[in-house]
Structures are given as C-alpha cells and as structure tokens.
Structure 1
Amino acid sequence: MVMEETRTRESVDRKILPTLFMSSLAISPPGILTGLLLIEISRTYNISLGIAGQIRTLAPIIASIMGIFMAVLAVKYRQKSLLLIGLSFICVASIGCVLAPDFMSMLIIYSLSGLGNAMVFPMAQSIVGDLYPPGERAEAIAWVSAAASFAYVIGAPLAGFLAGIGGWQLAFLAFSFLTSFISLLLAYKFLPNVKKDQGKPSGGVDYFEGIKKVLSNRSATACLIGNVLSISAWTVILVYTTSFVRQVFQLSTSYASIYLLVCGVFYTSATIFSGKIVKRIGMKKIYVISILIGGALIIVHFGVNDFWLSVAAGFACCVFFGARVTAANNLSLEQLPAFRGSMMSLNSMVGNIGTAFGSGIAGLILILYDFRLLGITFSLFSFMAVIVIQFLTVEPSKK
C-alpha cells in the first residue's frame, strides 16, 4: 500500500489541483452576480425583488434532479467528460442570461447553471479521490471545496466594477462566461481521462444498493436531513444578505461588493481553518456549535436597525457557516465508508434541495412580509438542524 501511495503521489501532475480549483470556482459566478445584482435584474424586467430571487430557486431544483442521474452517469462515463459538459452548461447559461428577452426566459436559461453545478463539483471531488493518495486527499478536497467561496473574494469587487461600466449583463459576460470558458479549456488540456473503478461485480453495478444502505442508516439519513436544514438557513445569507444591506441601509453597489468580498474572505478562511481542527475537536461538535451560533446570528443580521451591528453579524454568520461546511462534509463522508460515493452523491443532492427550498421560502416571505420575519424563520431551520445532528447522528470515530 505504501508503494501504491508513493507511486500515486509521483504520478499526480501539479497542474491538476489548480485546474480542479478553477473548475470548482467557475460554479460560483452566476450565484455571485444574482446575489449582488439582484436589484438591477429586478429593475431590468420590472419585477419585485422577491420574484427576482426565484432565479436562485429553479437552478438548485434542476441540480437536485440531475444529482440522481449523476449517480448513474458517473459510473458509466468518464469523470472528465462529465465535468467538461458541466462547464459547458455554465458557459451557455452565462451568455443566455444576457440575451434573455424577459425574466421567464432568463429563469429557464439560468437553470442550466444548476446542471453545471451538479456535474462539475461532484466530478472534481471524484477526480481528487481517484488521483490523490489518502495522505494528500483531505487537503486537496479542502482546496476544491474552498474554490467556490474564494470566487466571492475576487468576484464581488470585480462584479461591482463591471456592473458599474456596463450593467449586470457585462458582469455576466466578462466574469461568469470568461471564468467558465477558461476553466473549460484548462480542464480539457490538463485533466486526465480517469474513470473510477467502482469495484463492480460481473453482473454490473447495483448503484441503488448504496442508496438503500444510506437511507436505511439512521445516522447517515440524519446527516442528510441536517444538511438540508442547515444549508437552507445559510441560503438566506447567500442569496439575500447583499440585497438586504443595499435596500435597508442604502448601500451602494460598490460598497456592497466590498461587503460581499469580506464575506467571502471570512467564509473561505473558516472553511480552510476548520479543516485543521475538525479532527482535534470533533466534526459533530464543530457542526452543532457552528449552526447553533450561526442561527442566532441570522436573527441579529436581519433584525437589527444598526448598520454596523448587522454587518458584523453577517460577517460572523459567514465564519460559522463556513466552519459548518468542513464539519458537515467530513461527518457525511465517514458515515458509510463502503458507500462513500452514494453518500456524497445524495449529500450533494440534498444540498441543492436545501438551496432551492431556502430560496423559495425566502422569496415568498419577502413578497408577503419583511426581512425581520425572514431572519426569524431561517434561524429556526438552523436550530432544527442542531437537534437532528446532535441527537440522531453518530460520529464514526466515536462509535
């Protein structure tokens, strides 16, 4: 086994991890732009902010459905091919949003980015799992996972700058399209044609056996439920925090982009740092503490009238929910070692369900009520996740 790890380590091209990092980063620009420039998009099509926010609802629904098919496609087709197709979907979505004649057209075209999301990120993780030895795998996964949030660090100020020059349409072209297109070229050139060995029997792969094993395991199922709830809670920050500070505190687009940049820095830093302490403190403990405090901070962020207190609570939310990502992914990953592929495919699917559910409920609340009720409602989702994770999950190392 040592010889195998040494051989694997030597065979991994140094260009692969940066390429996978770029591929994962390409997932985020559409979401960054629809979060930062949602007000401009709503004005373009003369619709309310709550209705415009539904653009972030359909894409995750599509991604959730695609996640089921990906479980089968990943067995049958090469991971590189699926990743390239996913990046192509994001390219098409970026251009299509600019050309959309009305909001309904944009809503449908934007959903292609959901297909891309469902294909790119799981395949990037899968390629890491196949190419990197166990000793290097966790760090590689951490960087691939952090790429999406790192996009906010560079994308927030860039999007604000581009929007100031040519509106949200230029931001979609110069940021979202170019990022996905460059990532597509890099992936085509540098990623090897890896096809994961599923250890299939002569009769073929019974992928659904893994799904059955996951759903019949109480702790694994609780992880999925907890992730739906906690991701729904985080979605309200991801989708509406920028629009909230702009609309309630009259923040300009330029300052809002700086705010979003700082949010990205806090979230990314917490994601990477928590990876260094999760084994020492415990993945379940970090998960529970992060969503408990994060849920309380959601109420503060959307409920107070003081600008600085609200902003500080928003930054703190990014820290605690960033720590949640690493803890939650590790907890899910270790539930059923023999069926990690099935577990993580379902984990990705429920993440998209949580995003869609959170976006839909948040939009409905804003249409009917206000930001204050929004904060209270989504903090409750976070607190429900605390109960599920604390009492129904088991940390494998402590079984």
Structure 2
Amino acid sequence: MNAAEEKQKRLKYRPFILASVMLAMFVGAIEATIVSTAMPAIAADLGGFQLYSWVFASYLLMSTVTVLIYGRLSDLFGRRPVMTFGMLLFLGGSILCGFAPNMEWLIAFRFIQGLGAGAVLPIATTIVGDIYSKEERAKIQGYLSSVWGISAVIGPVIGGLLVVTAGWQYVFWVNIPLGLLSLIGLWVFLKENVEKKKHHIDYKGTILLTAGLSILLYILVEGGGAVSWTSWIIFALLAGAAFFLTWFIHHELHTEDPMMSFSIWKNRSILIANIVSLATGVLLIGISSYLPAFVTGVMEQSARVAGFTLTAMSIGWPISAIIAGKMLIRIGYYRTSLIGGLFLVLGTISFVLMEPVHGPLWAAMSSFFVGVGMGFTSTSFIVSIQSAVAWNQRGAATAANIFMRNLGSTVGVALLGGILNNQLRSSFEESSIDEVQSFDVDSVNELLTAEGRNNLAPDVLDSLQQAMISGLNDVYSVVLAVAVLSLALILFLPRKDNEEL
C-alpha cells in the first residue's frame, strides 16, 4: 500500500476512531456525574461523612499521578495498548466499588479505579490530536466537550433512577459495557506505526510523585481535625512532602525519558495554560463535590434535583467549547481564554451569593456559568498545547495539562474538605443547643435523606443546616479567590498565537 492509499484509509476510519474516543471519554464523564450525584445516598447508606472527601481524593490522587506516566507511555508504545490497560483497570475498579461494604473499602476501590482512569482522558484527547490538523482540532474539541454535556443530562437521570430502584452500586457498574465497546472500536480502526526501540520508563519519578502527593493530601484532609495544625506531626509531614516533591523535580530534570518533560514548559503558552489548569482544577472540584450536598441537605431537594444543578455545568461546558473552537481561529487563544476566565469569576460570585431561599435554579445558573468558563479555557489550552509540540511529545504535553488540572482537583478536594469539616466542628462547638455540641462531622449524614431530616427536632435541624451553610460559604469563598487568580494569570498569555517565550 503506497503513502497516498494509507493516508486515504486513515481518513476513512477517522469517524469511527473519533466515536470510540468519545465513548471512552463518556465512560469517564458519566462516572464523575453519577458518583457526585449519588454521593449523598452512598454516604447515608455506608456512613462516615467525615470520609466524604476521601472518596473523591483517593480517585483523584491515583488518576493525577498516573496521568503523566500514561501520557509518556503512549508516546513510547502507542496510544492503543496503554488506553486498553488503563480502561480495563478502571472498569475492574468500578466493579469492586459496587461491592464496597463500607466507606473505607469504597475509598480503597476508588484508588484502583483512579489508577486506570489516569489513562482515559489524556490518551483519548491525544488520539484526536494525532488524527486531526490544528484547524480541525479546534472544531473537534467542541465535539469532545459535548460528551460532558450528554453525560451530564443522562448521568443524573440514570443515577437518580438507579439509586431509588436498583441501588447506588449500579452507578459504578452501568458504564462497563460502554468501556468495553470503546476498546473494541479502537482495536478495530486505530492503526499506529510506533518506532520499535528500547525505552526507559520513569518508575522512580512515579514513586516520588505518589509519595509527595499522598503526604500532602493527608495533611490537607486531616489537618486541623485528626491532627492539629500546630503539632510536630504536621511539620514532619510537610517536610516529607517537600522532600519527595523536590526530589521528583530534580529527578525529572536529569533523567532519561522523564514522565514530565519540563523543557516544554519554556513555552509561555504551555506554562500559563498549565498553571491556570491547576487553579481551575481546585475550582471545579469545589463546585462538583459539594453542591449536591448543599442542594440535598440544605435546600432539602431530591438527589435528582441535585444532579440537575450539576447538569447545568456540564451543559454550559460543551456549548462554550463548540463556540470556542470557532472563536480560536477568528480571535486567537488569548481572547478566547480571557472570555472563559470572566465566566469563571461570574459563576463563582454567584455561588458566594447563593442562599437556600434562592432554590436550585440559582445553583444551576451558577453551575452553568462555571461550565461556560471551563469550556472556553480548557478548549483553548488543549488546542494551543497540542499545536506547540511534535507527535513524540504530544502525549506527554497533553497529559501534563490534564495532570495539572487533576492535581488542582486533588489538592482542592482535600483542602476544601478540610475547610468544610473544620467549620462544621466549630459551628457544633459554638451551638447553644447541648445536643448539637456533642455532634461530630458524621452527624451531617442526617441531612442527606428526607427520613434523616424528619427524625431531627426543628431547632437541631436548623443548627445542622446553618453549620453546613457556613462551611460551604467558606468553600465557595476560596473557590472565588481561585477564579480571580485564574483570570489574572490568563492576562499573562501571549497576545498572539505564535508568540513564545
């Protein structure tokens, strides 16, 4: 087969490859939507609200750490085999999550699920970068983002039905056939020509990064609660985290085939895009993790309504991503990203001003604005990064950007979870009601079901809800500060697409 025929064949199969990639992304997207929506029901069944944030943090930790090495492995061995390994691990973890007998086991199984999830999004995005040109990529990113909108509409509906009928366990099992179908499509239609040579895999870097982030995560979640901020344990852990992360950076700068190539960060567009992605990761997890608990526990709405408020975010994301794909070609990365930053600030201001009497429509509107901001910024960043590097760096470059956003979410869920838990404890201690003074964080479980709320005395219910409002107001204030920081950083992007530093 000559070069022209081979190229024609690749073009012929591109729609099927794109469909397989979108299906793989849908598996990850719908998992996030359903789990966030179902978490109040899961926490009410398994108990352990104090561990609520760890269900997200464990998943995010492993997917954050592995996203870099998966991206690098895909550059070395090809996208298809690495995606297959990650997807199968993700699906295996999903099966185990459904059998979790308590919150501790669920957290452990989420570690396994996250270990595989690190491959899905970055490699799927990289495959699109491989088979489409820069101009085509801008439009295709809109299609990829639409996956999040579709999953957002379907996810809460399916999740709500499964929770009230079959049980929350099925929110982890529903995507298994879809994941397998996406792998079949990739193996049938995606053909790769990978150079056969001996490669060095950066296992040491992976271990160092995992150790550093794990310690940091524990500090952020448990600091001020299980461990006092002023104790020697905190200072020892901080020293340990700094040691491992510093060693990781030093190792990456001097090793052969690093899993994070810092050389590409010399490009100013990549540097700013990655730093902003870190900030928006904090913002994104702050909204998606705790909004269902607010809508369910404070506004006293159903899980289905809580899911609707998150759906609005995921609808705004793909709509703006499709628009951004067209605007990138006309007005460039800088202005498109700036528009996204402004919407992020607008959405987070709305969350800070949100009161229970505003109802779920206010929450949905705020989510929508945040989703619009994420659509503009994430599309701009991915297209600009993939256009700035060669094929053999594209997987690592894409993974680095997604790593930074995941890292932000990992640190964010731990930090914001610690802020919420500490504020809840403080509110309970300051309460004038003796019963409330004896409460711990897990007492919030009673707010997450109608039956639990009905069993509480009116004054106790009001105290619990006020504590939740106070804690989440602190969370949303931090999220607003992060959105303002993101907007400020975007101002440092090059004004012209071909401008580098």
Deviations 1:53-101 (A, max 9, x none): 2211122221222123224422332321111112212211211111112
Q: Contact (CA 8 Å) 2:64, 2:403: kept in 1 or not?
A: yes
Distance across 1 between alignment mates of 2:199 and 2:475: 53
Q: Contact (CA 8 Å) 1:122, 1:345: kept in 2 or not?
A: yes
Give the deviation of 1:134 after TM superposition: 5.1
Residue identity in the other structure for 1:284: Y
Q: Which residue of 1 aligns with 2:189?
A: 191
Distance across 2 between alignment mates of 1:83 and 1:39: 31
Pair 1:392–1:318, CA change in 2 (3 A): closer
How many residues in Structure 1 have an aligned counterpart in Structure 2?
Answer: 394
Residue identity in the other structure for 2:107: L
Residue identity in the other structure for 1:47: G
Q: Which residue of 1 aligns with 2:412?
A: 358
Distance across 2 between alignment mates of 1:290 and 1:276: 14
Q: Contact (CA 8 Å) 2:283, 2:479: kept in 1 or not?
A: yes
Partner-residue secondary structure (3-state), 1:56: helix
Identity fraction in percent: 20
Q: Which residue of 2 aligns with 1:130?
A: 130
Give the deviation of 1:335 after TM superposition: 4.4
Partner-residue secondary structure (3-state), 1:282: helix
Residue identity in the other structure for 1:29: I
Q: Which residue of 2 aligns with 1:349?
A: 403
Distance across 2 between alignment mates of 1:9 and 1:81: 18
Give the deviation of 1:195 after TM superposition: 4.2
Q: 1:374 aligns with which of 475, 482, 490?
A: 475
State how 1:235-314 maps to structure 2 within 5 Å.
235-305=285-355, 306-307=358-359, 308-314=361-367
Deviations 1:152-189 (A, max 9, x none): 2221211111111022112322x23343233344444x
Q: Which residue of 1 aligns with 2:377?
A: 324
Residue identity in the other structure for 2:306: A
Q: Which residue of 2 aligns with 1:33?
A: 34
Q: Contact (CA 8 Å) 1:71, 1:207: kept in 2 or not?
A: no
Pair 1:387–1:263, CA change in 2 (3 A): closer
State how 1:148-163 maps to structure 2 within 5 Å.
148-163=148-163
Pair 1:221–1:136, CA change in 2 (3 A): closer
Deviations 1:380-399 (A, max 9, x none): 11111222221265643356
Structure 1, 317-326 or 93-102: larger mean CA deviation: 317-326
Residue identity in the other structure for 2:377: R
Deviations 1:341-374 (A, max 9, x none): 4322211211210111121122112212211111
Distance across 2 between alignment mates of 1:138 and 1:110: 33
Structure 1, 111-120 or 20-29: larger mean CA deviation: 111-120
Q: Which residue of 2 aligns with 1:396?
A: 497
Pair 1:34–1:210, CA change in 2 (3 A): closer
Q: Residue 387 in 1 paired to residue 488 in 2?
A: yes
Residue identity in the other structure for 1:70: Y
Q: Which residue of 2 aligns with 1:22?
A: 23
State how 1:86-105 maps to structure 2 within 5 Å.
86-105=86-105
Distance across 2 between alignment mates of 1:385 and 1:131: 31
Partner-residue secondary structure (3-state), 1:304: coil
Deviations 1:203-225 (A, max 9, x none): 99964498132234444323211
Pair 1:203–1:86, CA change in 2 (3 A): closer
Q: Contact (CA 8 Å) 1:157, 1:261: kept in 2 or not?
A: no
Q: Contact (CA 8 Å) 1:246, 1:256: kept in 2 or not?
A: yes
Q: Which residue of 2 aligns with 1:111?
A: 111
User: Gapped runs of 5+ residues in structure 1?
Assistant: none
Partner-residue secondary structure (3-state), 1:167: coil
Distance across 2 between alignment mates of 1:66 and 1:262: 29
Residue identity in the other structure for 2:40: I
User: Gapped runs of 5+ residues in structure 2?
Assistant: 202-254, 424-470
Residue identity in the other structure for 1:156: P
Q: Contact (CA 8 Å) 1:90, 1:177: kept in 2 or not?
A: no
Distance across 2 between alignment mates of 1:258 and 1:304: 16
Give the deviation of 1:8 after TM superposition: 5.8
Distance across 2 between alignment mates of 1:87 and 1:201: 25
Distance across 1 between alignment mates of 2:198 and 2:130: 19
Give the deviation of 1:122 after TM superposition: 2.2
Pair 1:13–1:227, CA change in 2 (3 A): closer
Q: Which residue of 2 aligns with 1:179?
A: 178
Distance across 2 between alignment mates of 1:293 and 1:268: 14
Give the deviation of 1:123 after TM superposition: 2.1
Distance across 2 between alignment mates of 1:202 and 1:264: 39
Query: Higher Cα Rg: structure 1 or 2?
Result: 2
Pair 1:81–1:269, CA change in 2 (3 A): same
Partner-residue secondary structure (3-state), 1:168: coil
Q: Contact (CA 8 Å) 1:88, 1:184: kept in 2 or not?
A: no
Q: Which residue of 1 aligns with 2:442?
A: none
Q: Contact (CA 8 Å) 1:87, 1:183: kept in 2 or not?
A: no
TM-score (norm 1): 0.87
Structure 1, 302-311 or 106-115: larger mean CA deviation: 302-311
Deviations 1:238-290 (A, max 9, x none): 22222222222111123233333343222222222221112223322222332
Pair 1:158–1:96, CA change in 2 (3 A): same
Residue identity in the other structure for 1:295: V
Structure 1, 112-121 or 221-230: larger mean CA deviation: 112-121
Distance across 1 between alignment mates of 2:71 and 2:307: 37
Distance across 2 between alignment mates of 1:187 and 1:9: 13
Distance across 2 between alignment mates of 1:36 and 1:210: 33
State how 1:73-88 maps to structure 2 within 5 Å.
73-88=73-88
Root mean square deviation of aligned Cα: 3.1
